[in-house]
Structure 1
């Protein structure tokens, strides 16, 4: 239940310059000059200020400079900025540098600072024409599956303010779901695009490893598990983002995605996994949602076949050890990796607990790294004969705030996380693409989502399936759900 002084849900959708468009629709209206770039930036700023006191998804504002940038776009001659998403407002997650804005990685251990240069992936995003309104929130260093930094207010789920947004891209997901912006930057080292997308009823694609330019952090990693991308309210926004990204950088080792603009009608063979390899049974609501999605895919003409998870039973422990290694590395070398003023005394309970866990188990690391590296080939072999695999995104439905807080005792928190985040890490270790799609609502009107995993380089197939599912049964937005509930309450009161 929500706190008595908080409404159950909050959104910023209105009939202003942003309207109810996705990013693609808004960009089309901007190109036709039906609305000005300045009007859009002003509307997005008003929306952010309206909901931010309750959502807590923004950690650094860039509103005045964003409005200046939008006005410059209005004054440019036609063709001055060819970006597909020219003038569309967005936020960038606070673990990438944007020149002139601070980068704090969701941690009190990082002092106040201002980035001097923009990160390569942020450049790949912004070159598409987006206008950056600021930085969005995340949990400390992206390690948690809820956006509840120990030193700040939790980011609240706009569908129900008492619940988690997921993580680590929780601020971006909250802002998109609430209608502040149509898309926002996200990145994913264990599910951090797909988890918040699932919790907030959005589309979240983790691309194939190497599809986009490398994240700043990957150069210090023994295995690159991080992919950048966006969270969006429509499949076409994610598809157009990926197509535009390829125009700026294309990895010649991967097949081109191109511009996927709808379902192809191809009949595909899809694997089905409902329970995870770590032995924790998926909860009934999530299970039913995945099984119903399988039936929907069959009605669309696809063949859905149960399959085994293509990794050894050691995978959950191996990935957990790698996760702990990252926490240990950040705590020990944060002053070199992140900021010279890094203060390890200020890291939260989860970072401390993971670092301690690594020190107790470091001797297992060589074997774990060998098996995690091998998982790429194991996965590729297992995908022979399958175009995609359908799974849950998470082991159970969205938890309330506090359940995964870094203030929870570490052993309890770690157990809860392993029961919750037990499907998404496989795509990070193997480098495979995976997409989270809304697929239903709980009895309390919180989103429930499913995951589709693909072959390496198979984003086009995942987008194909996503378009088909979206067309067959469009998922509700928060604005639509709020209107429906309001209409039902009005009808009930009138009766």
Structure 2
């Protein structure tokens, strides 16, 4: 079977697509004191410290994580491929590195040597990776113990994780709702406290959207910030990183994967908040005219007020962009990726009915690309020109504050890839109305879980900055985490 690479897949070269202090079921009780605080919780940083000191072994943490996975996965369905025996063997070998011995999951769009990489697609259900991707190789160097591959929608092409191949992944906070996508499995496993962090990627919101839906922290780093393979041509939308329970895990993973040749001034490891006060542009309304639900609007307004209370200057603002024009151009670029997948599936299985290989949503996007193909060069030119336009916004501001998504996570089935294409297209475009501009611009952006509804559902607050200002966002995230901690919140399903 032909390897499913982003260069093969996309016609343009575009890349799309602190643990709560554990109970005794997850770690020896004597390690956890009554004085434990969020900054000293068993996130990945703390777990690595305990392993390095010999207080708890990697195998103990790994067995505890496997036990938790076996308990919760029947409810959330977030594991595409378990690798438990391989993880035990790796943990027993005392892996070295910044996160030596810490258990995690790799997203099923990322190649991990010796593991299946299904890309959420029936086309690739039997594909076995024989190498690490560039980013995965860096995680392996950092010593993580991989418990398996986390679920993703087909080719990461939609904002929910309900692929035909593995079935719907469910939100730990409400099992009837979606966890977002495309890193939905990663976010669900992290929110369920199976692991302190999980590998994720973001080509149009795929770190930030599931982070918002599942109440975890999700930073989309700047283009060029972290080590990964990049396309030789086209618009490079996607970057790999993680969803995490604490800001410091995200910051430490960022520092451990930073690319010295990415064209940016190195950020290094951000260890805490900054004293600098920021000018924050508050833009709660989607640029494409979609409407916010009441709970999302209430949550983002509370976030703006929190920022004011912390001494930041918050101004009312709206992005000076024709949102519908941007959305239609972006969606055409996105659809080109779907067309590439359909072409690959047909080439690899010429005698097989394409509908048994590729989902209706992907086929609908591919059909849209073919119908609008004469507009494609103009769309690429528009999106290429958008990057300097976006960065000009920051001549007078430091950060943009918006919701991450336009409404609370919808019910399972609302974004199922089997729904009629035109209905689903509007649902997805309106739900994910905020995230794509930062991918096109290559800028830093993060979803922070500081707001919750009265019913206990997370509401993501998205902060976005210039390309290269990842450190500004991480410093702000530390401040928000300290002001309004989220680590003490756990899904009711955990008991």
The alignment's TM-score, normalised by the length of structure 1, stands at 0.89
TM superposition shift of 1:182: 0.6
In the alignment, structure 1 residue 268 sits paired with structure 2 residue 278: yes
State the distance in 2 between where 1:312 and 1:288 align: 25
2:245 to 222, 228, 233: 233
Q: How does 1:187-336 map to 2 (within 5 A)?
A: 187-215=201-229, 218-219=230-231, 222-246=234-258, 249-251=259-261, 253-313=263-323, 314-334=325-345
Q: Secondary structure at the match of 1:113?
A: coil
Change (3 A) 1:304 1:235: same
The alignment's TM-score, normalised by the length of structure 2, stands at 0.89
State the distance in 2 between where 1:373 and 1:175 align: 35
TM superposition shift of 1:124: 1.5
- Coordinate RMSD, CA, aligned: 2.2
2:61 to 40, 47, 70: 40
State the distance in 1 between where 2:276 and 2:354 align: 53
State the distance in 1 between where 2:44 and 2:207 align: 18
State the distance in 1 between where 2:62 and 2:417 align: 35
In the alignment, structure 1 residue 174 sits paired with structure 2 residue 188: yes
State the distance in 1 between where 2:236 and 2:354 align: 24
Change (3 A) 1:342 1:378: farther
Deviations 1:20-76 (A, max 9, x none): 6211121121122110111111111111111111211111121111111111117xx
Partner of 1:136: 150
Q: How does 1:157-172 map to 2 (within 5 A)?
A: 157-172=171-186
State the distance in 2 between where 1:358 and 1:283 align: 31
In the alignment, structure 1 residue 402 sits paired with structure 2 residue 413: yes
Q: Secondary structure at the match of 1:86?
A: coil
Change (3 A) 1:150 1:221: farther
Partner of 2:479: 468
State the distance in 1 between where 2:24 and 2:64 align: 10
2:439 to 428, 431, 435: 428
Count of residue pairs brought into register by the alignment: 462
Unmatched 5+ stretches in structure 2: 1-19, 29-40
TM superposition shift of 1:335: 6.9
1:456 to 467, 476, 484: 467
Change (3 A) 1:423 1:221: farther
Q: CA contact under 8 A between 1:12 and 1:179: conserved in structure 2?
A: no
Deviates more, 1:31-40 or 1:429-438: 31-40
1:349 to 330, 346, 360: 360
Unmatched 5+ stretches in structure 1: 1-10, 75-80, 487-495
Partner of 2:396: 385
1:14 to 5, 23, 26: 23
1:51 to 72, 76, 80: 72
State the distance in 1 between where 2:330 and 2:260 align: 29
Q: Secondary structure at the match of 1:168?
A: coil
Deviations 1:219-274 (A, max 9, x none): 2762110010000001111011111112xx32352011111111111111111111
Q: Secondary structure at the match of 1:157?
A: coil
TM superposition shift of 1:312: 3.4
State the distance in 2 between where 1:424 and 1:477 align: 27
Partner of 1:489: none
State the distance in 1 between where 2:427 and 2:223 align: 28
Q: CA contact under 8 A between 2:178 and 2:412: conserved in structure 1?
A: yes
Partner of 1:23: 44
Q: CA contact under 8 A between 1:159 and 1:478: conserved in structure 2?
A: no
Partner of 2:5: none
